[in-house]
Structure 1
Amino acid sequence: MDDPPLTMADLISLKSLDIRVLAGSNGLGREVLWAHSCELSDPERWLGPHELLMTVGLGLPETPEEQRAFIANLDETGLCGVVLGDHAPLPVLHPQLYEEANKRSFPVLLTGSSTPFAAIGRTVAAAAASAQTIQVLQLSKLYQLSAYAHTDPNRMLSDLETLFSVRLRVFDVLTGLVMLEGASSVPMPDSARERSYVLPGGSGVSLSIIEHAEEEISSFLLIHLLQVVDVALSRILPSIRSRAERSAQTFAAVLEGRPPADIEQILGLGGDSNGYQVVAVSAEDGDRVARAASIKNLPVLCASGHSSSLILMSVGMQVEVRQFLTELDIQGGASSSYVDLRDIKVAADEALKVFLSAGPHQLWKEFEGVSVSLLARSHKEASAVVELVLGDLAKTDPRNSKLRETLFSYLTNDRRATETAVSLGIHRQTLVYRMTKISEITGRDIGSSADLAAFWLAFQAWTSYKSIAD
């Protein structure tokens, strides 16, 4: 941050210059970067913004309206003001000149007859040189700190905050998430202003600068600051993109039944985790979700589809994922929990149904009620149900297999004995005998509503996941 720049008010405060204000006193806060003497009739062609015109009046028009236009042209070109020399060539100044200057708050100054323009020029040049020296020193320090761009970008940002007495924050434009943030304790008043600049690398990342009002980082230093921050991001961004790509590829492999060997480590499954869930979001939000999860380096997998986008996570990540979707203002629907990744498609379908059933203003909705495949949502649970309900009847020896087939046929035929016997090709009395043996082996009575429901669930688990019987 530079020292306060020289202003028109500073010039007139220097008694040695003997300058007084003729008009436009409301513009004395204008910054003066340079002072130039010009006696041409069109000085606006040769001077630029924040430059001070010094003239003895040789180029100043004589008529009232021409003098009005003269002041207007200088102001519209961006000049900070005009200093008139109190010498013979100076024409009569008409009221129209004063009116235009006051209307535009464009300072019109008059020097004493003994004040050389060179003294004004040297004063402005000295002030500019001082500011430039400070900028060069700051620039040198800026590039010293850039050494941390790759090794510790957050430290670099904190040191830059101290250097410029500002606060810095790098954020992703797509998600709005902060990617880097300084940790300095630079105090900022309520009047501080915030500016944001897209980094030059075309990465969709912006730098936010919070600085004291009227003490902004100069354009000269800002260009270099953006370049240095962009360099720091050049190592971070490829990692973010790589994580997002690996996440999509791994999720695709899981959906195809080819989960990698380290999938439990990737998702943080096992240990205290009691399963996984799938969260569905809109297809339009898929890119934002995947990038945000990668920026936060969450232990989840994200994949985009035509009808929706999905997040695969451990149950233990639910609170964090819900919070991060809320930060993004993205609606999500979560499945119930599952314990076997072979059930991923079932979980994904369930999550999509939950998502589609959510209200327009409901950012998060979880699965409620009873799953259609109760106690048989997964291979592991199905196996447990079958063993719990059927006992030895779940064995694959000929005797138990025949009895199990009889039970399942009886349930399929809605407990109609004649139809069951016909479908099995046995006598009705043989069916009665087999049903008695089934009750003895399992300890359950087919006539009991509770036992009948248990048999039916075991039958559903067996037929849905035949591989558990192999």
Structure 2
Amino acid sequence: MKLEVLAGASGLDRSVSYTHVSELDDPSAWLDGGELLMTNGLGLPEDAEGQTSYLAGLHQRHAAAVAIGVRNPPLTTNLLELADRLEFPILRVPREVPFLAIAHLVADLNQDAAQRRLVTHVRILDTLRLKAERGYTIARLIMELEAISGYHLAVISARNRSTIFRGAAPIDIALPDELPDSGHFLIPEGFGLALPVRGRLAGYLIALESNDAEPAGLQALQHIATVMALEIAVIHQARESQRRSGAEILAELLGGRMNGSTAAERLGEFGFASTGSFELAALRGVGEQQLDDEGLNHALCDAFTPHVMLKQQSELLLLFEAGDELIGQIMLQASARAGVSTPFTDLSALSLARREAVWSLVMGADHEQPIAHFGQRDQMIQWLPSSRTELDLLIARRLGPIQAYDDEHNTALMISLGAYFRHERRLTVAAGELGIHKHTLAYRLKRIEEVTGRNLDRIQDLAELWIALKALPLVRDDVAGLGLFSEPTD
């Protein structure tokens, strides 16, 4: 074809699978690998930095070579030296040779290769039939796909980068911290492909070129990604069924319809130890953000961590084995606030564990410590009444008049009292947080004394109101946004 080698001659043994024509200043985004890029150079930058960036993009996308016409800007020394280092051929196309002739030549010479690729794609999709007929394990299925494709394969979780399929061999390779949510991306000696399942990113297919086989290319990997996504979908369906079963166990325990020994036996089906201790967590989203309980469940399953969960009222209850440190890491990754009960062995005590977990969530979890364990930060909650009836009575007697006054006059006495206590009765600081003058806050406190009959200079009266305020979030969900118990910002 009378092509002239301008640089990168040591890479002339590269295999050309396709041709692609582009005059874009960054054509790399449109390449899958193996292409001979043909260009007149209209998009080629004139400066050295721009030209080397252009070539580096082609190299990263595994292009085979670039063939340039005669209308391009002068090629810089930096570009030619980089091509030699990368062993990336830069070819000159003479004016009398049309790009179409080169494209026809590559297509004709690759007919056999195209036929082989077609057969490879059919074999990849046929593995689904073989798995069903021969009862292949997922590990065996991946081995078959590796033999067909010429890649070492692994399927990793999008959440913790661990192997999704139990028994499948992992791949030891460093991946970037941030990976795309869709499509494919390049990694050293291979590709990564996002695996969406039911509209949610479920994981990634990682494929590394095998030294003793010819890689089948990106299109083959896209078919393999489809096969793996179908396998993950089956796993997710089983997880949903298991989650419903676990929720039934927790609901029956909390409702007193199942004894502890029966529950322990059934939890063995979820991977719990037959004899051990448990912890219960109550979780909510951070701020106004809703907790992604489905994503949390998948993250726990990806980590093969025994657990069951139940959505109840405004909390998600999560039962797990005591001492499982991985649980805390996963809850933090899920952007959750959580309260955790003390460890217990008798599942019949789940109602008590729930109360501890919810109290810890409401009283102790905040932006500085998203996960609070019962009694860890606020020992006072251990001395509050354990009965919901007693808590309601305490709140009604001490705070009822304040709430009634606020409702009738559209005032903010309750919030003002909370800020006053939170800032250790420092009038100026509390008023500053509320955005009012300290005399205004003093007036509000005087009004609180009038409607409650309490004296804020007496320790006993202060203590009773403070304890009642502490108890309020334990029985009412609508006060979470009032900021009554968040830590002071000063």
Match in the other structure for 2:263: 263
1:351 matched residue in structure 2: 357
Give yes or no for contact 2:342–2:373 (8 Å, CA) kept in 1.
Answer: yes
Q: Rate the CA distance shift 1:259–1:289 in 2: closer, same or farther, 3 A.
A: farther
Unpaired segments of 5 or more residues in structure 2? Answer: 21-29, 46-53, 55-62, 81-89, 175-186, 286-290, 387-490
Contact 2:158-2:204 at 8 Å conserved across structures: no
Q: Do structure 1's residue 148 and structure 2's residue 131 form an aligned pair?
A: yes
- Which deviations, in whole Å up to 9, do the C-alpha atoms of 1:359-407 show, x marking residues without a partner? 7555765445899989xx9xxxxxxxxxxxxxxxxxxxxxxxxxxxxxx
Please point out which of 164, 173, 193 is paired with 1:179.
164
Distance 1:253-1:122 versus aligned 2 partners, 3 A rule: same
Contact 1:35 1:121 in 2 (8 A): yes
CA distance in 2: counterparts of 1:279 and 1:306, whole angstroms: 14
Which position in structure 2 is the counterpart of 1:230? 229
How many Å separate the matches in 2 of 1:217 and 1:209? Answer: 14
CA distance in 2 between counterparts of 1:344 and 1:151 reads 41
> What is the correspondence of 1:452-463 to structure 2 with a 5 Å cutoff?
none
SS at match of 2:153: strand
Once the two structures are TM-superposed, the CA of residue 243 in structure 1 deviates from its matched residue by 1.0
Give the whole-Å Cα distance in 1 for the aligned partners of 2:37 and 2:296. 54
Residue 236 of structure 1: how far off its partner (Å): 1.6
* Corresponding residue SS for 1:179: coil
Q: 1:363 to 1:193 in 2, by over 3 A?
A: farther
From 81, 99, 110, the counterpart of 2:73: 99
SS of alignment partner, residue 99 of structure 1: coil
Confirm whether residue 302 of structure 1 aligns to residue 309 of structure 2: yes
| 1:68-113 Cα shifts (integer Å, max 9, x gaps) | x96427999x995367xxxxxxxxx7xxx353676999743239x9
Given candidates 55, 74, 93, the residue that maps to 1:109 is 93
Query: Once the two structures are superposed, what CA deviation does each residue of 1:201-259 show, in whole Å capped at 9, x if it has no partner?
Result: 53542333142599976342133212211232232221011111222233222222222
Letter in 2 for 1:148: K
- SS at structure 1 position matched to 2:199: coil
Q: Would you say the 8 A contact 2:19–2:36 is kept in 1?
A: yes
Instruction: Give me the whole-angstrom Cα distance separating, in 1, the residues matched to 2:209 and 2:328.
Output: 33
How far 1:140 moved relative to its partner? 4.1
Corresponding residue number in structure 2 for 1:461: none
1:292 aligns with 299
Shift in Å at residue 32 of structure 1?
A: 4.8
**Match for 1:346: what amino acid?**
L
Give, as a single letter, the amino acid of the residue that structure 2 aligns with 1:205. A
User: CA 1:295/1:257 → structure 2, altered by over 3 Å: closer, same or farther?
Assistant: farther
1:209 aligns with 2:193: no
Deviation digits for residues 242-294 of structure 1 (CA, Å, limit 9, x no counterpart):
11122223322222222278312123599643x54322333425444333345
Matched, 1:334 2:340: yes
Is the CA contact (8 Å cut-off) linking 1:101 and 1:107 kept in structure 2?
Answer: no
Q: Conserved in 1, the CA contact under 8 Å of 2:195 and 2:203?
A: yes
Which 5+ residue runs of structure 1 have no aligned equivalent? Answer: 1-16, 37-47, 54-68, 84-92, 378-470
Rounded to whole Å, the distance in 2 between the matches of 1:310 and 1:52 is: 56
Aligned counterparts, 1:70-149, within 5 A: 71-72=41-42, 80-81=66-67, 97=71, 99=73, 107-110=91-94, 124-125=106-107, 127-146=109-128, 147-148=130-131
Within 1, Cα distance between the matches of 2:157 and 2:165?
A: 10
Is the aligned partner of 1:160 residue 2:145? Answer: yes
* Cα separation, 2, equivalents of 1:304 and 1:138: 46
- In 1, the alpha carbon distance for the partners of 2:76 and 2:273 equals 77
Rate the CA distance shift 1:122–1:204 in 2: closer, same or farther, 3 A.
closer
Which amino acid letter does the alignment assign opposite residue 111 of structure 2?
A
Query: Per the alignment, do residues 195 and 118 of structure 1 end up closer, same or farther by CA in structure 2, a change over 3 Å counting?
Result: closer
C-alpha separation in 2, matches of 1:361 and 1:303: 26
| C-alpha distance 131-328 of structure 1, shift in aligned 2 (>3 A) | farther
Q: 1:300 to 1:328 in 2, by over 3 A?
A: closer
Report the number of matched residues.
Answer: 314
TM-fit CA distance, 1:302: 0.9
The separation in 2 between residues aligned to 1:270 and 1:254, in whole angstroms, is 18
Question: 2:253: which partner in 1?
Answer: 254
User: Aligned in 2, Cα 1:73/1:291: closer, same or farther, shift over 3 Å?
Assistant: closer
CA distance in 2, matches of 1:139, 1:332: 47
| Paired position in structure 1 for 2:327 | 324
Q: Label 1:340 to 1:32 Cα distance change in 2 as closer, same or farther (>3 A).
A: closer
C-alpha contact (below 8 Å) 1:286/1:303 kept by paired residues: no
Hey, what does 1:278 align to over in structure 2?
Answer: 280
How far apart, in 2, do the equivalents of 1:206 and 1:339 lie? 35
Distance 1:107 1:350 in 2: 72
- Specify whether residues 151 and 199 from structure 1 end up closer, same or farther in structure 2 by C-alpha distance, changes over 3 A only: farther
